[in-house]
Amino acid sequence: MQWLKMIGRAVLTPAAFSYYSGHFRSSLKGAAVDRYGVPIPWYTYSSIWFLQQKKFSGKTVLEFGAGQSTSWWAQRADKVVAFERNQGWYERLKSVLPKNVELYFDPKGDMSGFEEVLRDRRFDVIVIDGQKREKCAEVAPDLLAPAGAILIDNSEGYGSGGRKSIVDPFRELGFSRVDFYGHAPAVLRPHCTSLLFREKCFLLDSEESPAVLSLAIFKRTE
């Protein structure tokens, strides 16, 4: 009967992952949600699970590319500033986002004309997931708080074909990097979400203890 157990694990393990992570529901809905239908970022699950264990009270977030993640960040951080170049997404989001979100429509995707919005502001987390990512990568270091972090989704997809990688400018500026590989909501192929930071980063304080996924990560968060 050992072979029955092996087949059972082979079948049930991916099914359990798909259900508990929300990948199954996300695939049916065509949107990034958890198993309860609550919006989550469209990052790799490993990076989401890492971020879910961290505290963002008193923190500010800048998103280059708004969406499901904007609602997710708004529940955790004190302030979210988000830029979106897709007018459909912008119109959909502006009527449902909470008051701690500043949402801006940026049709060019390069933040041109928004210099005053960003002037003299520093953010604890900067997310590059949309817009013109190479341009975002240029301006992000100057907008980052001293102990902050930059999160780049789909970081493996920029820099192929002989082009300079999107992470290279950060390497040249002395940033360290942690890559989170794996699947993302409603996505068939795995990809990479990268976390970049300078010498000190509040996300790496590790005040929390390691959590068992089935008990902490997969439970519903209000």
- What secondary structure does DSSP assign to 37-76, as a single string? S-B--SS-HHHHHHHHTS--TT-EEEEES-SHHHHHHHTT
CATH no. for 38-216 = 3.40.50.150
How much is the average pLDDT of 184-207? 90
- Single-letter code of the amino acid located at 127: V
Provide the residue ranges of all domains of the chain, joining segments of one domain with +.
38-216
How much is the average pLDDT of 82-110? 90
Q: Select the more confidently predicted residue: 130 or 52.
A: 52
- Dihedral of the alpha carbons of 197, 202, 207, 210, in degrees to the nearest 10: -40
How much is the average pLDDT of 88-104? 92
Max Cα-Cα span within the chain = 68
How much is the average pLDDT of 113-123? 89
Give me the pLDDT at residue 216, please.
Answer: 47
Kindly report the CA angle at 152 between 109 and 71, in degrees rounded to 5?
75
Q: Percentage of the chain with pLDDT > 90? A: 45
HSE-CB of 30 using CA atoms within 13 angstroms: 0
- Judge contact between 151 and 205, C-beta under 8 A: no
Q: How confident is the model at residue 163 (pLDDT cuts 50, 70, 90)?
A: low
Kindly report the CA angle at 131 between 130 and 137, in degrees rounded to 5?
90
Mean of the per-residue pLDDT values of the chain: 86
